Amino acid sequence: MSKSPAQFAQAAQELCVLPDIYLKLTEMLANDECKLDDIADVISLEPAIAASLLKIANSAMFSFPKQIDSINKALILLGLSQVKKLVDAYGVTAAFSSINPEITDMERFWEISVECALICQFLAQRKNISNADNIFLSGLFHNLGLLAIVHNAPDAVQFCERYTSNETPWHRQQETFGFTFADCSAELLEQWQLPLTIVTPIKEFNHAFQEELDAPSNLLYVASRLAVYNSHPGLYSKKTIVGQHILDSLGLTEEDIDAAIEHCNEQALELLAAFPIY
């Protein structure tokens, strides 16, 4: 009997545990009475997350005019909303940092994930898409299901990753498992109690071609396809892999798409270096 996305997600939790520092910070950030200085003190005790936070705060994502050289300054300038996103990004990526790179191509996995996140964020800001505050994290986490499944079904995952120009990765996943990696991603993130604003687009986006969805889900659909297109030059046609009617629904032009890919190529390496993903 084949496993469901929820069963794969449950099994993954036993192998990929959220770091204690993430759980502590999540609890503090959920407390309205918690002070910035207290959060800074906890982050400062964990060099890995402190370094990641400072790297990201000083990256082109935020483009602050002066270098941020302390955790306190980073928290003040970024604000609690952005810090919460960065803590989520750190915690979830750290949970999967011990995956054996011989089982699956981790470099390509995180490259596509980060590129999807950057394209999501760029297009959401460029087109003023509402209710897309957490779309960066939806993009970053959309394919985590692959890592949740790979321990239990490595051969099937490797087969899914050997997609060709004749079929998309999502079609091969559906044919192999009866669901896509994104379905498992959504189940895992729900079990970890991440906000629905992150999870819902992941749960929905692969249905965008057939169904009418809200803007964040459609945006994640576009970004996920463009990230795969960008990581495999010549494998797919940019226009056919996305679908013109979805671009039209978001008001996206070819100029928007080209600008998003250029933005992604400029920032991806810097961002990859900031997360604990290798």
| CATH 1.10.3210.10 domain locations along the chain | 101-277
Q: What is the pLDDT of residue 67?
A: 85
pLDDT band for position 8 (50/70/90)? very high
- Residue 249's Cβ-side half-sphere holds a number of Cα atoms within 13 Å equal to 19
Angle between helices 196-204 and 181-191 (to 10 degrees): 160
Least reliable range by pLDDT among 27-31, 256-260, 271-275:
271-275
User: Which of 16-20, 165-169, 186-190, 216-220 is predicted least confidently?
Assistant: 16-20
Give me the pLDDT at residue 132, please.
84
pLDDT at 1 over 80: no
Ramachandran assignment for 80, one of left (phi > 0), alpha (psi -120 to 50 degrees), beta (any other): alpha
**What is the C-alpha separation between 236 and 159, in angstroms, rounded?**
19
Q: 125: which residues sit within 8 A by CB, 6+ positions away? A: none
Q: What is the pLDDT of residue 53?
A: 83
CA 106 to chain centre: 14
On the CB side of 25, CA atoms within 13 Å amount to: 31
- Rounded-to-integer distance, Cα 160 and Cα 146, Å: 9
Question: Exposed, middle or buried: residue 232 (CB in 10 Å: 0-12, 13-18, 19+)?
Answer: middle
pLDDT at position 211: 87
d(CA 42, CA 159) in angstroms, rounded, equals 42
Task: Classify 212 in phi/psi space as left (phi over 0), alpha (psi -120 to 50) or beta.
Answer: beta
The Cα 223–Cα 215 span in angstroms is: 12
Q: Which pLDDT does position 226 carry in this prediction?
A: 96
- Asked whether the predicted pLDDT for residue 54 surpasses 90, the reply is no
Higher pLDDT, 186 or 51: 186
Model pLDDT, residue 278 = 61
Q: What is the pLDDT of residues 69-81, one digit of tens each?
A: 889 888 888 888 8
DSSP-assigned states of every residue in 132-196 = -TTHHHHHHHTTTHHHHHTTT-HHHHHHHTS--TTS-HHHHHHHHHSS-HHHHHHHHHHHTT--H
Domain 101-277 has CATH 3.40.190.10: no
* Per-residue model confidence (pLDDT) at position 210: 87
